[in-house]
């Protein structure tokens, strides 16, 4: 089983729609969770950290369910500029900050 699993997509969503991504992780001792965004042929950029209480940043909402080892990202009112690959990232080795990346979910917003 992969340490971090994501639905690779692609997700093709009309502009203005709401889209949700899911991610599961295998190591129950994982400490930190993130969503990164990666544009084609570019480096990943931190979108948001994910906290147990859930957190929201504008149109983006992230949720963490430790019992189910499940992370989600919700994008509301999607924009054309949201088209990218979204990476679920987990810190599986607390203390040395090593990150494990999921393979990413490709999102395309259609005008």
Partner 1 sequence: GAVVSQHPSWVICKSGTSVKIECRSLDFQATTMFWYRQFPKQSLMLMATSNEGSKATYEQGVEKDKFLINHASLTLSTLTVTSAHPEDSSFYICSALSTSGYEQYFGPGTRLTVT
- Footprint on this chain of partner 1 (rule: CB under 8 A): 32, 41-46, 87, 96-104
As measured in angstroms, the least distance from the Cβ of 72 to partner 1 is: 18
Half-sphere exposure (Cβ direction) of 63: Cα atoms closer than 13 Å: 10
Q: Which is nearer to partner 1, 61 or 104 (CB)?
A: 104
* Residue from 111, 68, 103 nearest 86 by CA: 103
Q: Which is nearer to partner 1, 82 or 102 (CB)?
A: 102
As measured in angstroms, the least distance from the Cβ of 38 to partner 1 is: 8
Q: Which is nearer to partner 1, 51 or 77 (CB)?
A: 51
Question: By CB neighbour count within 10 A (0-12 exposed, 13-18 middle, 19+ buried), where does 50 fall?
Answer: buried
As measured in angstroms, the least distance from the Cβ of 25 to partner 1 is: 13
Which residue do the tokens 């990150």 mark?
A: 99
SS3 at position 81: helix
Q: Which is nearer to partner 1, 58 or 97 (CB)?
A: 97
């Amino acid at each position: 089983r992969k340490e971090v699993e994501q639905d690779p997509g692609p997700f093709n969503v009309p502009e203005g729609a709401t889209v949700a991504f899911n991610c599961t992780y295998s190591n129950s001792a994982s400490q930190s969770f993130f969503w990164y965004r990666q544009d084609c042929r570019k480096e990943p950029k931190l979108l948001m950290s994910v906290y147990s209480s859930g957190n929201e940043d504008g149109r983006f909402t992230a949720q963490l369910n430790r019992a189910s080892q499940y992370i989600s990202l919700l994008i509301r009112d999607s924009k054309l500029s949201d088209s990218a690959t979204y990476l679920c990232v987990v810190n599986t080795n607390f203390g040395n900050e090593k990150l494990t990346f999921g393979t990413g979910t490709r999102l395309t917003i259609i005008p």
